[in-house]
Structure 1
């Protein structure tokens, strides 16, 4: 994970450097002002569904905390990571206003190849961690454990990886991300935390209860919207 994080942030730094260079060149070449327009349509809903996937890592929050040698340091760590991630998303969104669908398509030459290779390496190195919660749930449903032996567990994991690979081949990336956002990220990031806090902590009044209800309501509305928009725009 250390190598994956290092590679990921190096690629982010390269992309930000290229974005900054382009902005400076545009300023000195007097390209002109950017025309900011707001258009609402099916693509907007699909974008919202994809944006929610930014919370995809919330599924590994509890497993990571349980695996830490110093769990008491977890709140500080997750707050710092969320703040850093939010700043990174905001910087990309504000500065990269003239990009293609995938940011790597805006790069040329060796920089593009290097960034893409680095992203591939990052995915390969982080996939086991992202895969872990789903695998634990699947093995629990199948009744597999250490006593079941190595072969059944490996077979179940292999089938899950192959299923994910097949879906990535035949499903458009943006629609697949929209479905993942509506079916997985929205419940994990908005509905379940607010609902569990309401049920377990039972705040009767105040900002806590209002925030929980707002999160649950937003998730209940956003989940079907994300799924429907991803299906309707399927191509």
Structure 2
């Protein structure tokens, strides 16, 4: 069913056509969050606070690092938004408060559900028993489709044949992602952790510091240079160590 729905949507070339549906997706996220909180509160009133809560999962706690970094998956839209904002000088302040608000919401929501359900949280996603109505998939797949097509079809002239081959490549990409998700089963949290450590850490921390050193070479203070190199070194450590740790404890 997912394939039947997503495949036609991913054939859309102009991604701005999804701007209205993006607002609808945000509304669905808000409604889903409210529904989860309502059911959690009802569960609390009937059963009390959960049991078996661990302050620290000593066995696989490092999986959290990759999952936390994965929350920065949208960091790539920061600079494009800065370029179109009306008051660029206010953007860093707005961005700071937005990230602070998101962090507070993530932490409070997660902790609230954890203390209510306790050891009853046996699956990676708390929404497993709720209707799956997300429509952000075409937006997420669009950059990957563009990159793949830029390599495969760069030497082909524009023609109906080229257009249909692009449609085929996008359809196969959708099929691959659907089958891949099915193969993960209950290990989705591990996959997100690996994805965060391996792919999102360089994008969020390593590359920005490298760009900062190159763009402002000769203008930075020693303290700024040391901070950049520290973040680069630490992010590289996270990339390799946390990725290996999660893979090693994949079945834990």
TM-score exceeds 0.5? yes
Which residue in the other structure is 2:211 paired with? 196
Change (3 A) 1:140 1:35: closer
Partner residue in 1 for 2:55: 37
* 1:121 lines up with 2:133 in the alignment: yes
**C-alpha contact 1:46 1:178 (8 A) present in aligned 2:** yes
Distance 1:220 1:188 in 2: 11
Decide whether the 8 Å contact of 1:60 with 1:133 is kept in 2.
no
Contact 1:195 1:212 in 2 (8 A): yes
Q: For residues 172-197 of structure 1, what are the alpha-carbon distances to aligned partners after superposition, in whole Å with 9 as ceiling and x for unaligned? A: 31222122112211111111112211
In the superposition, the TM-score normalised over structure 2's length comes to 0.70
The answer as to whether partners of 1:190 and 1:218 remain within 8 angstroms in 2 is: no
Matches within 5 A, 1:24-173: 37-41=55-59, 43-62=60-79, 72=88, 78-98=95-115, 99=117, 100=121, 101=123, 102-104=125-127, 112=129, 116-117=130-131, 120-122=132-134, 125-144=135-154, 147=158, 149-171=162-184, 172-173=187-188
Higher helix share: 1
RMSD of equivalent CA atoms: 3.3
Report the secondary structure of 2:193's partner residue: helix
* CA–CA separation in structure 2 for the residues paired with 1:170 and 1:158: 18
Shift of 1:5: 0.4
Structure 2 vs 1, CA of residues 65 and 129 (structure 1 numbering), >3 Å: closer, same or farther? farther
Partners of 2:105 and 2:93 in 1: CA distance: 18
The answer to whether structure 1 residue 228 and structure 2 residue 219 are counterparts is: no
- Once the two structures are TM-superposed, the CA of residue 65 in structure 1 deviates from its matched residue by 6.1
TM-score in terms of structure 1 length: 0.74
**Is the Cα contact below 8 Å between 1:50 and 1:177 reproduced in 2?**
yes
Give me the whole-angstrom Cα distance separating, in 2, the residues matched to 1:59 and 1:7: 23
Aligned pairs, how many?
217
Structure 1 unaligned spans of 5+: 106-111
Query: Aligned runs of 1:10-29 on 2, under 5 Å?
Result: 10-22=31-43
* CA separation of 1:226 and 1:159: change in aligned 2, threshold 3 A: farther
* Residue 29 of structure 2 is aligned to residue 4 of structure 1: no
Deviation string for 1:47-86 (max 9, x for gaps)? 32222211122244456667x5869586566445423321
| Shift in Å, 1:34 | 8.3
